[in-house]
Amino acid sequence: MKKYQLLAEHIQAQIEQGVWRAGDRLPSLREQVAHSGMSFMTVSHAYQTLESQGVIVARPQSGYFVASRPQSERSPTKAIHSGTVDINTYIFDVLQASRDPAIVPFGSAFPDPRLFPLQQLNRSLTRVGRNASAVSLTSNLPPGNEELRQAIARRYAAQGMRISPDEIVITAGALEALNLSLQAVTNPGDWVIVEDPCFYGALQALERLRLRALAIPSDIREGINLQALEQALQTSPVRACWLMTNCQNPMGFTLNQQKKQQLLALLKRYNVTLIEDDVYTDLWSGREKPQPVRAWDDGSSVMHCSSFSKCLVAGFRIGWVAAGVHARRIQELQLMSTLSTSSPMQMALVDYLTTRSYDAHLRRLRRELMERKQQAIEALHRHFPAQVQIHSHDGGFFLWIELPPHLDASALSDAALACGISIAPGKMFTTSQAWHHAFRLNVSWAWSEREEQAVRRLGTLIAQKLEQEC
Amino acid sequence: MKKYQLLAEHIQAQIEQGVWRAGDRLPSLREQVAHSGMSFMTVSHAYQTLESQGVIVARPQSGYFVASRPQSERSPTKAIHSGTVDINTYIFDVLQASRDPAIVPFGSAFPDPRLFPLQQLNRSLTRVGRNASAVSLTSNLPPGNEELRQAIARRYAAQGMRISPDEIVITAGALEALNLSLQAVTNPGDWVIVEDPCFYGALQALERLRLRALAIPSDIREGINLQALEQALQTSPVRACWLMTNCQNPMGFTLNQQKKQQLLALLKRYNVTLIEDDVYTDLWSGREKPQPVRAWDDGSSVMHCSSFSKCLVAGFRIGWVAAGVHARRIQELQLMSTLSTSSPMQMALVDYLTTRSYDAHLRRLRRELMERKQQAIEALHRHFPAQVQIHSHDGGFFLWIELPPHLDASALSDAALACGISIAPGKMFTTSQAWHHAFRLNVSWAWSEREEQAVRRLGTLIAQKLEQEC
């Protein structure tokens, strides 16, 4: 590391430790030269670096001052890590539980697999088995099977978006796409914007890649708070922003067009890359499919990540990123970590997409999910105490449930799991304390006596917690 | 970061920059207090930290001195990064080239796919397509398909090794297994032992995870130098050691039993985890299959990584790690990054392994590879200049070719690629300058006029380089 970088790091560390606080005047260049014994060139280079990072600001005639930071700032290595250990443990329990058919999987992130066209997918697998090149690696190396990338590009085109197959990289589900995208545009220690609450995978990725989180509050109806976002961008050197714009996980909202455009304009102004997690978008409702933010970008500012796992087949583990200018870097990172996704899976999807009507399946899927959600909401109203708030949106298959603020949804989750019911408590989705009283409910299941009883049981458990608290 | 840590980092950086060299006496505590303006407590805490890390040593009555380091030590963020850019670019060229049937793929890391049982694998795919649960995710989540883990455990048992299916985690090829294993036992900044030369994936992983490399020289016959290894372990706080013990890539050697046991004893003594990359082991030759180091470990010190990609099918992207005590952590890391490998691929392998004789296939494969290697060696002797050294081993399908030390194999690689021939130059496998004159040759291809001409062309290009140098 160069001397000026060491000095810059040293000063930044002092600021983080509170040695210098927002608004404080830093030692002048000459004073710093005297302290550090470093040359004037080195010291001024260090100050310029900190200034370019937005850590300090120069004021004519008066010197260098520490920039102010937003309230929401958190050091993830503390805030996130403490949470993440629990999150991993909990994800483990939920996933292990989800293997057990005896557990009612209200905590699952995947829709009822019985809603997927299993027979058609199996026939595609069978056909691929007759294809001589099915097991060959080379034709499916990153960026991935060409026909599959073309099929995905055509689906973008049908939405009026111009995405070239050449910028699409096939990945092991959207999760690998999101992780590679984040890695492609950040270095350890960089600042990244996430939502509060957000998909726990984002928090895990930040911790894994040693990034610093700025959690911006999101509203159950309006989504991310653009004022808080701009304040964060003004005061911190943010590299990337990871969020969901359609059927957000866990809350379920979809940003309106105007807000999506405002979000993009804001991020472009601060030269921040948006990593757009759009895995539930095909579960939209209303007149037409909502556009992702990527629709207004030329590929320089937005990396659009999605998959087939939530709407067609989870077991294939096939997702993608429309990576724009970062497509090459994504491929390099994939070659280093998993090399590529499996050839037969890519080819089976090509077969399905070219011989079946994916859109007809999606129409049936959306209709069925809407009906099931309605049944679930009615059951919740029958069995949940009046103090519980039930938030629902037209798209997707999640309900966001708020208990009275003094109740802990994690405790409810433990009690429910003991009764053979899984839920996804708010703690999984936040680095703050703001959502510990909430939980996410997957309502994609065919409504039977089993689901009815499970909801009744949850209602009883909540009622018991309410009494205990009184 | 705490003040003492900043000071420790600052001093370590000075040492890495050569401000203080091995054996130099550092400023005394009191002198350091005077320079830094930090408290005596802080300074002595910083010195103790550096001492505990083996960076400096205290000598009674005389103060603190910079510890001596092995010659091979390098700061990867410098040495590796500069190399890695080229490596990625080169891997890209080789892989892109390998898609083009017009290129003779002597640079490839995979054997001729025509040696794989494509029809049998396709039939397994077809049968999986008839299986109702083929596309289901949950039964194949980490640690992976239970039958597949049992089949792998039985193969270990056939070798006299006791590996429980419960400690096996199915991954996207061995590459994901190796990356997850390294991540499971290290933190950024930790020291990791690699071989020189070694599989480039190890160098890429170190850079990606921000780890520090200690490259230990390996001999073409004897493998890793245990004296140099012990010296490194004595002088640096090493966390992990990543190396290949059977049919090493790129040089091809297999460590003998005694050396494997010595290696394990040495690593255990210093409490260093061995990440054993064993992907070519089934291409052994001789009377019986060589044991991995894991055979003498109880799962506390060795993580054994392998795959089906080099011997059965590359396109499925299925590998595994016998992770011992780290199995749970590996699963957590996988759930964060790729979630799981695809269900149908795992089930197709189960079908193949339970309905076919994998061992009969491996016997045919080894016999065929041996014959092809012999033909290749004869061709090299016909067409290569006498100054070229051809190193071959019984197992595997790589030859390690040494040009006269003053020749650059990377230049030869560029010239060869221009002639439609790929090779793997030594620069890909090292952070030192030691192997820039060597290259790896894949000789798994059926020997025809095309291969003969390619070798003749390479011989001519080498001869031209020799003349230019004179």
pLDDT at B459: 97
Q: What is the 3-state secondary structure (H, E, C) of chain B?
A: CCHHHHHHHHHHHHHHHCCCCCCCECCCHHHHHHHHCCCHHHHHHHHHHHHHCCCEEEECCCEEEECCCCCCECCHHHHHHHHHHHHHHHHHHHHHHHHCCCCECCCCCCCCHHHCCHHHHHHHHHHHHCCHHHHCCHHHCCCCCHHHHHHHHHHHHHCCCCCCHHHEEEECHHHHHHHHHHHHHCCCCCEEEEEECCCHHHHHHHHHCCCEEEEEEEECCCEECHHHHHHHHHHCCEEEEEECCCCCCCCCCCCCHHHHHHHHHHHHHCCCEEEEECCCHHHCCCCCCCCCHHHHCCCCCEEEEEECCCCCCCCCCCEEEECHHHHHHHHHHHHHHCCCCCHHHHHHHHHHHHHCCHHHHHHHHHHHHHHHHHHHHHHHHHHCCCCCEEECCCCCCEEEEECCCCCCHHHHHHHHHHCCECCEEHHHHCCCCCCCCEEEEECCCCCCHHHHHHHHHHHHHHHHHHHHHC
Q: How far apart are the first and last CA of chain A?
A: 59
Contact A129, A291 (CB under 8 A): no
CB contact under 8 A, B332 and A123: no
* Pick from A93, A100, A88, A123: nearest CA to A313: A123
Give the gap in angstroms from C-alpha B211 to the nearest C-alpha of chain A.
12
Three-class DSSP category at A66: strand
Tokens 């590391």, residue? A1
Q: B81: Cβ–Cβ under 8 A, 6 or more apart, which residues?
A: B207
Six token digits for residue A338: 């998993």
Q: Is residue A122 within 8 Å of residue B134, measured between CB atoms? A: yes
Judged against a pLDDT cut of 80, whether residue B142 lies above it is answered with yes
Distance from CA of A261 to the nearest CA of B (A): 30
Nearest one of B308, B231, B242 to B272, comparing CA atoms: B242
Interface probe, candidates A135, A169, A330, chain B, greatest B C-beta count within 10 A:
A135
> Residue A156 contacts by C-beta under 8 Å, 6 or more apart in sequence?
A162, A163, A322
Distance CA B344, CA A122 (A): 10
pLDDT tens-place string over residues A292-312:
999 999 999 999 999 999 999
Of A135, A173, A179, the CB nearest to B118: A135
- Spatial neighbors of A419 by CB under 8 A, at least 6 apart, are A457, A461
Residue B203, φ and ψ in degrees, nearest 5: -65, -40
Q: Are A391 and A251 in contact (CB under 8 A)?
A: yes
CA distances A227 to A218, A233, A434, B112, B459, Å, are: 11, 10, 19, 58, 67
Write the residue in A17, A188, A345 that is nearest to B345 by C-beta: A345
pLDDT of residue B78: 28
Domain ranges of chain B: 3-73, 87-113+360-469, 116-358
Residues forming beta bridges with residue A73, ordered by sequence position: A214
Residue B259 has pLDDT above 60, yes or no: yes
In terms of CA atoms, which chain A residue is nearest residue B313? A135
**Residue B284 zone, left/alpha/beta (φ > 0; ψ -120 to 50; rest):** beta
Average pLDDT for residues B214-221, to the nearest whole number? 94
Q: Which residue has the tokens 């080195």?
A: A42
Q: Model confidence at A75, in pLDDT bands (50, 70, 90)?
A: very low
**Distance of alpha carbon A203 from its chain centroid, rounded?**
8
User: Which residue is it, tokens 């910028």?
Assistant: A167
pLDDT confidence of A115, banded at 50, 70, 90? very high
* Residues A301/A268, Cβ–Cβ less than 8 Å: yes
Supply the DSSP symbol for A356.
S
**Coil, helix or strand for A238?**
strand
Contact A344 B345 (CB under 8 A): yes
Q: Do B337 and A175 touch (CB under 8 A)?
A: yes
Query: Taking 90 as the threshold, does the pLDDT of residue B13 lie above it?
Result: no
Residue B73 pLDDT > 60: no
Contact B316 A340 (CB under 8 A): no
- How far is it, in rounded angstroms, from Cα B178 to Cα B320? 9
pLDDT digits (tens, 9 = 90+) for A233-249: 999 999 999 999 999 99
> Please, which pLDDT band fits residue A404 given cuts at 50, 70 and 90?
very high
B56 exposure class (CB count in 10 Å sphere: 0-12, 13-18, 19+): buried
Reported confidence tier of residue A70, pLDDT bands at 50, 70, 90: very low
Residues of chain A contacting B336 with CB distance shorter than 8 Å: 88, 175, 179, 201, 204-205, 208
Quote the CA–CA distance of A83 and A200 in Å, as a whole number. Answer: 10
Task: Report d(CA B29, CA B49) in Å as an integer.
Answer: 13
C-beta of residue A376 within 8 angstroms of C-beta of residue A447: yes
Say which residue, B445 or A136, is predicted with more confidence: B445
Cβ contact B436:B403 at 8 Å: no
Listed residue (A273, A277, A233, A270) closest to A255, CA to CA: A277
Instruction: Please report residues of B whose CB lies closer than 8 A to that of A122.
Output: 129-132, 134-135
What is the token pair recorded at B150?
């049992």
Smallest Cα distance from A253 to chain B, Å: 24
CATH superfamily, region B87-113+360-469: Aspartate Aminotransferase, domain 1 (3.90.1150.10)
Give pTM, 2 decimals: 0.81
Q: Which amino acid makes up residue A445?
A: W
* Residue of A1, A122, A204 lying closest to B13 (CB–CB): A1
State in Å, rounded, how far the first CA of chain B is from the last one.
Answer: 56
CB B309 within 8 A of CB B275: no
Contacts of A9 in chain B (CB under 8 A): 6
Q: Do A88 and B332 touch (CB under 8 A)?
A: yes
B357: left (phi over 0), alpha (psi -120 to 50) or beta: beta
The Cα of A175 is separated from the nearest Cα of chain B by a number of Å equal to 6
Q: Does domain B116-358 have CATH number 3.40.50.2300?
A: no
Min Cα–Cα distance to chain A from B316, Å: 5
ipTM of the complex as predicted:
0.78
**Distance in angstroms (rounded) separating the CA atoms of residues A464 and A458:** 10
With bands split at pLDDT 50, 70 and 90, how would you rate the model's confidence at A82? Answer: very low
DSSP A292: P
Q: Please name the member of A121, A137, A173 whose beta carbon is closest to the beta carbon of B135.
A: A121
Residue A274, pLDDT > 70, answer yes
Q: How far apart are CA A76 and CA A207, in angstroms?
A: 7
Q: How far apart are CA B390 and CA B128, in angstroms?
A: 45
Radius of gyration of chain A (CA): 24
Nearest to B352 by CA among A129, A81, A371, A8: A129
Q: Which of A3, A323, A348 is nearest to A171 (CA)?
A: A323
pLDDT of residue A79: 27
pLDDT score at B93:
66
Least CA distance to B11: which residue of chain A? Answer: A6
CATH number, domain B3-73: 1.10.10.10
Do B129 and A131 make contact, defined as CB atoms within 8 angstroms?
A: no
Nearest neighbour of A10 by CB, restricted to B6, B88, B122: B6
CA atoms of A393 and B233, how far apart (whole Å): 59
User: Any idea what DSSP says for residue A433?
Assistant: S
CA atoms within 13 A on the CB side of B354: 14
Residue pair A429/A250 in contact by the 8 Å Cβ criterion: yes
Residue A430 or residue A10, greater confidence: A430
| Of residues A100 and A220, more confidently modeled | A220
What is the DSSP code (8-state) at residue A333?
Answer: H
C-alpha B296/C-alpha B94 separation (Å) is 37
Inter-chain touch A173–B339, beta carbons under 8 Å:
yes
- B198: tokens are 């070694």
With CA atoms as reference, the chain B residue closest to A90 would be B332
Residue B401 to residue A252: CA distance in whole angstroms: 60
Residue A20 φ/ψ, nearest 5 degrees: -115, 130
Of the partner residues A123, A314, A338, the one whose CB lies closest to the CB of residue B338: A338
The lowest-confidence range among A199-213, B221-235, B258-272, B444-458 is: A199-213
Identify the band that residue A83 occupies on the pLDDT scale cut at 50, 70 and 90: very low
pLDDT at A387 > cutoff 90: yes
B9-36: average pLDDT: 76
Cβ <8 Å between B316 and A201? no
Question: Cβ contact (<8 Å) for B129 and A113?
Answer: no
Query: Residues of chain A with pLDDT > 70: what percent?
Result: 91
The 3-state DSSP class for residue A81 equals helix
Look over chain B and give the mean of its residue pLDDT values, rounded to a whole number. 88
The length of chain B in residues reads: 470
**Count of pairs with CB atoms under 8 A, one residue in A, one in B:** 210
Q: Enumerate residues 6+ apart whose C-beta is below 8 A from B117.
A: B312, B352, B356, B361
Q: Which two tokens stand for residue B16?
A: 């890495």
For A223, A239, A272, A280, the CA distances from A259, given in Å and listed in that order, are: 9, 21, 17, 19
**What would the pLDDT profile of B146-191 be if each residue is shown by its tens digit?**
999 999 999 999 989 989 999 999 999 999 999 999 999 999 889 9
- Asked if A201 lies within 8 A of B88 by C-beta distance, the reply is no
Contact yes or no for B6 and A1 at CB 8 A:
no
**Which residues from chain A sit within 8 angstroms of residue B183, using beta carbons?**
208
- In terms of Cβ atoms closer than 10 Å to its own Cβ (0-12, 13-18, 19+), residue A119 is exposed
Among the partner-chain residues B122, B124, B343, the one whose CB lies closest to the CB of A130 is B122
Query: Out of A124, A129, A316, whose CB is closest to B342?
Result: A316
Of the candidates B10, B138, B188, the beta carbon closest to that of A98 is on B138
